[in-house]
């Protein structure tokens, strides 16, 4: 396993280098002149040139690329052009709010989807199965924005159970007061597609010979489902969870904007609106590196879930 781990880490280096090169040249070619974005409309050519000198934009392209790589290597992303706030400080202060919302969403979504998917797979072909699939299809056809508007109107304005917006410095207060409504709506929206997906995973396993053999031996249905089917279905489930994990660390733009959550997702949304390129570049590279690490960790978890998995 150690040789496999080292090989995967070595493979991540050129991949990350490719991402860095792509981000650098895309912003150079299509991002416009940063000096124009940072100065006012009435700025003189001398002022624009001064900003270009401060940013090092007058240096050769390879020198700019080397400085860019150096900043990434030492985790010095620079400052936001709009607020002059350190980007490392932005990550440090916005990420906790994002995790406060996104971690409960992921845990509840995966847990409930596994239970629901297994339940409808168990009664496959029945009226309950068809009804759940019909409801899931209808739910998939409705935009998340509609859920947010209706959820805020019913649970906040009409019933008064939750505040529409707000945030505090206390994690417990946020989890108890401000997070429940966005978490509830996000889980309701994501439960439909996840239930359909996990149902297909379980149905695929239920159709295998080992399930028929276990039934022929008189093994209880609950034992078959929870001990055999669930365990064998965990590999595609882990793969699906791994694709969602990077989003947990970036946040949901819609949730954070409409519920005024001071998280990383809202910060990225704001940065795009004001062309704050250093923030966008930092988040892009951070997300790429995070995705590679999560994929590697998921591959290692495959061995723990299923000892038959062999690393080559």
**CATH number (domain holding residue 217):** 1.10.3720.10
Is residue 61 domain-resident?
A: no
Residue span of the structural domain in which 246 resides: 89-261
Is residue 274 domain-resident?
A: no
The closest of 43, 56, 98, 103 to 256, measured between CA atoms, is 98
Is residue 298 domain-resident?
A: no
Mean pLDDT of the chain: 81
Is residue 190 domain-resident?
A: yes
pTM value? 0.81
Question: For 142, which DSSP code?
Answer: S
Residues forming a β-bridge with 79: 86
The closest of 191, 3, 202, 27 to 109, measured between CA atoms, is 191
At 47 the pLDDT is 63
Q: At what angle do helices 127-140 and 87-122 cross, to 10 degrees?
A: 150
Question: For 73, which DSSP code?
Answer: H
Q: How far is CA 286 from CA 75, 105, 119, in A?
A: 10, 22, 38
**Number of neighbours of residue 164 by Cβ within 10 angstroms:** 15
At 49 the pLDDT is 67
At 228 the pLDDT is 79
* Residues 6 or more apart whose Cβ sits within 8 Å of residue 272: 280
Instruction: Say whether pLDDT at 57 is over 70.
Output: no
**Local confidence band at 264 (pLDDT 50, 70, 90 cut-offs):** confident
pLDDT above 70 as % of the chain? 88
Instruction: Say whether pLDDT at 40 is over 60.
Output: no
Mean of pLDDT values over 279-307:
84
Is residue 71 domain-resident?
A: no
95/35 Cα distance (integer angstroms): 29
Is residue 22 domain-resident?
A: no
Is residue 60 domain-resident?
A: no
At 56 the pLDDT is 65
Half-sphere exposure of 209 (CA within 13 A, CB side): 0
125/100 Cα distance (integer angstroms): 39
Provide the domain count of the chain: 1
At 52 the pLDDT is 67
Q: How far is CA 2 from CA 8, 11, 67, 123, 307, in A?
A: 10, 14, 34, 43, 16
Is residue 219 domain-resident?
A: yes
Give the tens place of pLDDT for each residue, 120-163: 887 777 888 888 888 888 888 888 888 888 888 888 888 888 88
**Local confidence band at 39 (pLDDT 50, 70, 90 cut-offs):** low
CB 255 within 8 A of CB 186: yes
Half-sphere exposure of 133 (CA within 13 A, CB side): 15
């Amino acid at each position: 396993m150690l040789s496999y781990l080292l090989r995967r880490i070595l493979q991540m280096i050129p991949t990350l280098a490719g991402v860095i090169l792509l981000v650098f040249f895309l912003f150079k070619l299509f991002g416009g002149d940063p000096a124009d974005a940072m100065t006012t409309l009435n700025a003189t050519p001398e002022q624009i040139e001064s900003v270009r000198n401060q940013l090092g934009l007058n240096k050769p392209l390879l020198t700019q690329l080397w400085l860019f790589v150096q900043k990434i290597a030492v985790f010095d992303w620079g400052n936001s052009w709009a607020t002059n706030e350190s980007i490392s400080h932005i990550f440090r202060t916005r990420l906790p709010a994002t995790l406060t919302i996104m971690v409960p969403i992921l845990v509840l979504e995966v847990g409930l989807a596994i239970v629901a998917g297994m339940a409808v797979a168990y009664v496959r072909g029945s009226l309950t199965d068809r009804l759940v699939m019909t409801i899931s299809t209808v739910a998939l056809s409705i935009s998340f924005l509609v859920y947010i508007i209706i959820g805020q109107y019913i649970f906040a304005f009409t019933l008064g159970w939750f505040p529409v917006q707000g945030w505090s410095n206390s994690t417990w207060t946020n989890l108890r007061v401000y997070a429940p409504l966005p978490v509830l709506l996000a889980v309701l929206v994501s439960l439909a597609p996840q239930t359909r997906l996990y149902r297909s995973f379980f149905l695929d396993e239920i159709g295998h010979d080992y399930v028929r053999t276990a039934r022929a031996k008189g093994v209880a249905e609950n034992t078959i489902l929870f001990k055999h089917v669930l365990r064998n279905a965990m590999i595609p489930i882990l793969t699906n969870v791994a694709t969602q994990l990077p989003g947990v660390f970036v946040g949901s733009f819609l949730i954070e904007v409409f519920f005024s959550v001071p998280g990383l997702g809202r910060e990225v949304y704001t940065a795009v609106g004001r062309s704050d390129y250093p923030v966008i570049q930092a988040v892009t590279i951070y997300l790429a590196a995070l995705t590679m690490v999560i994929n590697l960790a998921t591959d290692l978890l495959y061995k723990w879930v299923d000892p038959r998995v062999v690393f080559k």
